[in-house]
Structure 1
Amino acid sequence: MTTSSRNLGDLFDTFQREAFRLETLDDYSRSGNVDAYHAFLAGEPQPDDYNAGWVEELRTHTGNGKRIYRVHVLRRPLTHYLRFELGWGYQKNMSGGEEFFILDITDSPNPLENVPDFWLFDSNSVAVMNYDGTGKFAGSEVLLSARAAEFTRYRDTALAHAEPFPDWWAKYGA
C-alpha cells in the first residue's frame, strides 16, 4: 500500500465533519487499556475515570458539531473482550457523543469479509489499523486519498447492514 505523509493523529486533529471507525476483531485485549480489561475480567467495577481522556476528546469534537461513529462486525457468543469493549467502552464513550452500531454476522454472511479495521475521516482520508494475531496494535497506515472512495463504500455497506448498538445490546448484551 502506498501511504501519505500524514499520520492518524493528524487526521484526528484536522477532520471537519465526521470520523468513522470499522472494527472487525473479536479481541483487542493487548491494545489500549490492558489494566482495565483485567479489572473487568476480575469482576471489579468500572472506575469513574475509565476512558476519561477519550471521552473528553469526544465531547470536544461532538460539541463542535462533528460526528464520531463506528460499526463493529461481530459474531455471538461474545468473547470476554467484546463483553468488556461493549459493556465498558461503548457505554462510557456514548456519554461523550460517540455513536455505535453492530453488524452481527452470527446468522448471516459477512458483507465485509477481508476488509481491515480502519478510520475514515470526512470521506476523504483513510487510516488502516493494523493488529497482530493476538489483538495487539501494530500501527496505522494512512492511505493516499485516491483510496477514500473504496473505504467510503465499506462504511456505507457496514451501516446498511448494522443496527444501532443500544437496540442490539438490549437484545444480546449482558
Structure 2
Amino acid sequence: MGQVFSSLDDIEFNQLFVDFKYTAFRLETLQHYDVSYESREFSRFLGGERSEEFEGIRGWIDGTVAKAVANGKKMHRVHVVEMPLSSYIRFEFASAYDHTTSAGEEVRILPVRAGEWPEQIPRCDYWLFDSVKLVLMNYEDSGRFLSAEVVDDPAQVIRANNLRDIAVASSTPYQEFVAKCDV
C-alpha cells in the first residue's frame, strides 16, 4: 500500500481531485455514510423536511465537480443501492446527486434486492483517477470513514478498472433511475 489518509479533509487527499487529468471514478457500496457535515441535514430530512443543497455539499459541487467538468474532466460514479432504498440513500439522492448531476457529474445506480449483492462487485468503495491511481476508501460498518489508501499494486489497479467497467455496464443513469422509482 502507498500513502494513507486518515481524514477526508487531508489537503493531499483533496489535491487528488484537482490533479487528475481526465477521469475520476467512484464506486460506492454502503447504504449509509456517517459524514459529520451531513448529520444536521440528514436529521432534518428524517424529520420530513425536503433536503436541498446545503453548505457541506456546496463546496464539493462548486469547488470540485463543476470546476473539473468546466476543465473538460469527467467525474462519474456508480452507487450500488439496496431496494427498498434506505433513508440515507433517499437523502443522498435529494441532497447530493440531484445537485452533482446538475453540475455535470455522471451518477449511475445499480439497484439490488436487500440481502442480495451483484456477484462480480465486491463490497468495497474506491476512487480511481485517470484509470491509474487507485484509492481504497475504508469505512466502519456504521459508515464512519476510517482511511483512504493509495494502492500501488498494478494488479489491484487493473481489477478496479474491470470492476468500474462492470459496474457502469450493469447500472442505470441516475435521472433514469429516479424517474422510474418512487424516491
Among residues 127, 147, 152, which one is paired with 1:144 in the alignment?
Answer: 152
Gaps of 5+ in 1: none
Given the two structures, how large is their TM-score scaled by the length of structure 2?
0.85
Give me the whole-angstrom Cα distance separating, in 2, the residues matched to 1:100 and 1:64: 18
Shift of 1:160: 1.1
Q: Deviations over 1:45-76 (max 9, x none)?
A: 33554421111121110000001010001120
- Displacement of 1:161 in angstroms is 0.5
Structure 1 SS opposite 2:138 = strand
- Secondary structure, in 3 states, of the residue corresponding to 1:100? strand
Q: Provide the aligned C-alpha RMSD in A.
A: 2.1
- Any residues of structure 2 matched to 1:3-152 within 5 Å, and which? 3-4=2-3, 7-47=12-52, 49-50=54-55, 51-56=57-62, 57-106=64-113, 109-144=117-152, 146=154, 147-152=156-161
Report if the CA contact (8 A) 1:31-1:137 is conserved: no
Range with greater deviation from structure 2 (34-43 or 56-65): 34-43
What is the CA deviation profile of residues 2-59 of structure 1, one whole-angstrom value per residue up to 9, with x for unaligned ones? Answer: 2247953232121000100000011113454211111111122335544211111211
CA distance in 2, matches of 1:8, 1:173: 36
Question: Quick one: structure 1 residues 49 and 27, their matched pair in 2 at CA, closer, same or farther if it must change by over 3 Å?
Answer: closer
Residues 85-129 of structure 1 show CA distances to partners (whole Å, capped at 9, x for unaligned) of: 112210011121111101112297503443410000000001111
Instruction: Report the Cα distance in structure 2 between the residues aligned to 1:100 and 1:109, rounded to whole angstroms.
Output: 19
Identical-residue share of aligned pairs (%) = 34
**Count of aligned residue pairs for this structure pair:** 173
Structure 2 counterpart of 1:28, one-letter code? Y
- State the shift of 1:157 in Å: 0.7
